[in-house]
Amino acid sequence: MFDMELRDYTDWDVQSVFKRSDRGKYAYRVVLYFKDGTKRKKMYSGFATKKEAEDARKFTMGELANGTFIVNDNIRLKDFLEYWLEYDIRKRVQSSNTYDSYSNIAKHHISPLIGSKKLTEINKGDVQKLYQDRAGYSKSIARLVKTVMNVSLRYALSYKLINTNPAEGMELPKTVERKPYHTRNIDTAKTLNMDQILLLLEESKNTPIHMQVLFNVLMGLRRQEINAVKYSDVDYVNRTLSVERQLGKELDRSPSGQNRGRTKCELPLKTPSSRRILPIPDYVFEMILEERKKYEKWRSRRKAVFHDDGYICCSSYSGKPRSKDFHWRHYKELLKRAGLPDIRWHDLRSTYCKLLLNNDFSPEAVSRLMGHAGELITIDVYGDNTNIIPEEMPELISYMEEVMPKKTVKGIAAEISEEEVLETMIDMEDFFGENHRIGRIDQRK
């Protein structure tokens, strides 16, 4: 595509101005010398007068002297973005999500508009027009376009493909509201109240996504974190869950992605702060134990085909983890059958966040529980969020009491009522024995 090593010259020389006999114009040559003894020549021509050529020559010498000389000055933005995606982003991102998002923006929203322009010729006016055009198309797309332009052109600047970054300091049109850094806005109209949560839990019991629903609405896990949870992540003594990984599409690291990546690959978490330890509500803990019993039966009955990888949300036949979209059909049918609002799967995570905030958890504490780094959280409650109390993280008991109500509500089985809360004792030696069988469970009322 283009040779990035040309920027690594060790010495240079700018030859005298001369008149080209074939065109009658003035020109001069730049000679670049490299470590391996090779040299490359670049000719600058087309000057009508010798003075014009001399002035340009002096300017080039100044750039060479102060390190701002651009060797690859004939690269189109479209070609640069393709190179940047393949040789920078593909190598750095953890999963295919970011790469696919950046690639889509570059190929469908930037290159068609200004991709034919040379990288060195793009100015702030071009960037502003791009932002205005995409803002008229979609505000969310405009924000992504701004991100891609900033990140890619910073890369171009660091590799001496441009002298200045034309996207630096450029803002989106005023019609696009600026989002504060790392801020999560929660629309309560798209979340469930406690009665609706209890109904959802009951209706999901006889579906293949019951555990996924629990991990989402009662623990706030992301979709790809849910599918990656293993029994080994559960601390059965302290009743906590370690969020250690996510499942997603494996990104092929080779240029152009010639080898198709797996779609259920264990990947690092979204951010370092996504690695966290969460308290497990009693009801979720009981369901994990019940699900483990089923897992052991499936494993013993289907030894030839069962993959004993320990995923909690897995296929009863093969033991393989659920795909990222497995929940979709079941979830929509579940909402319809229960007469619940047609909200997104991700809105269940927002519901969890709202419950914590309504129980006086500080935004900082909620951010940690949800795996966000230093995120500011706002909640839209009648235009007022004074109920969010900025204090140190309180005990989780208030939240646990809300998700485990003292009275039996429609659909919630009697075993979780106040009178019949189960106290579970686990024989840990048996539980972690060689056969990985569920140990003795003594239940005392």
Of 82 and 181, which is predicted with more confidence? Answer: 82
Percent of the chain exceeding pLDDT 70 equals 77
Judging by DSSP bridges, how do beta strands 376-380 and 183-187 pair with one another? parallel
Q: How far is residue 303's CA from residue 296's CA, in Å, rounded to a whole number? A: 11
Please tell me which residue, 238 or 70, carries the higher pLDDT value: 238
Residue 417 above 60 pLDDT?
Answer: no
- 249-263, 282-296, 324-338: the lowest-pLDDT one: 249-263
Residue 434 has pLDDT above 70, yes or no: no
What are the pLDDT digits (tens) for 104-157? 999 999 999 999 999 999 999 999 999 999 999 999 899 999 999 999 999 999
Residue 90's pLDDT is 86
- Please indicate whether residue 26 or residue 273 has the higher confidence score (pLDDT): 26
Which comes out higher in pLDDT, residue 25 or 189? 25
* CA separation for the pair 387, 367 (Å, rounded): 17
381-392 in b/e burial notation, b at 16+ Cβ within 10 A?
A: eeeeeeebeeee
User: Whole-number mean pLDDT of the chain?
Assistant: 81
Mean pLDDT of the region 356-382: 72
User: Residues 221-243: what's their mean pLDDT?
Assistant: 95
Mean pLDDT of the region 208-216 = 97
Nearest 5°: CA angle at 233, between 230 and 238?
140
The pLDDT assigned to 404 comes to: 44
Q: In order of start, what are the domains of the chain with their CATH numbers?
A: 4-66 (no CATH), 77-158 (1.10.150), 185-444 (1.10.443.10)
Which of 49-53, 265-269, 356-360 is most confident? Answer: 49-53
> By C-alpha distance, which of 60, 56, 76, 69 is closest to 7?
69
The DSSP symbol for 444 reads: E
CA angle 234, 314, 285 (to 5 degrees): 30
